[in-house]
Amino acid sequence: MIEKIADDLIGQMTEARLIDKEMEARYVYVFICWIEKFITVGSIIVISLMFHKLLPTIFFLVFFLELRKRTGGYHLDKFYRCYLASIVSYLVIVIISEKLSEHPQWLFAIVLLAITGIGLIGTANHPNMHMTSDELMESKKSARTIVLLEGCIILGCVLLDADMVYVSYMAIAVILCAALLCIAKILRDEQNELI
């Protein structure tokens, strides 16, 4: 359905000569990505309101989305699968964040392991990305910088004695990115040859 809407809208823009014909496929792809992200993030925000966790969820989304776009990692092949996995993952996060905030030593150990993993691996070159070796190196550098920054923010929040629920949501975002990155490496869900 999303693909049909994107095709129709971009097709109309092409006919009106607002978009070059050779760029049409790229515009369709970007439009689909935006709509899918809007649906997923919007659903997570609605669920967070139901659990009275809007602000921690916003922290989670900022940390996760900023790091995820640089690390890459495992991706499901269909939107509905990705959507369902995202919603189920978020529901698990709501449940485990309470438990992890009660046991900060476990949270800190796991997030330190996640930061180390991202620092070592950096980025998975997903087949849909087709990164050149220069782009891959830049992405790895960016991922390492962002994970270091996010780690410092988490540490700063701990030192300032911030509410552990907020800290756990931020830490879980880093942990989830590291897990998806490791899954991609284990399943070899990445492009081996660089352009």
The per-residue pLDDT for range 135-166, each reduced to its tens digit, is 889 989 999 999 999 999 999 999 999 999 99
Whether the Cβ atoms of residue 183 and residue 74 lie closer than 8 Å to each other: yes
Query: pTM for the whole thing?
Result: 0.86
What residue spans define the domains of the chain? Answer: 1-50, 53-186
Of 119, 77, 178, 140, the C-alpha closest to 132 is 140
**3-state DSSP call for residue 122?**
coil
The per-residue pLDDT for range 155-195, each reduced to its tens digit, is 999 999 999 999 999 999 999 999 999 998 888 766 654 44
Q: How many CB atoms lie within 10 A of CB 182?
A: 17
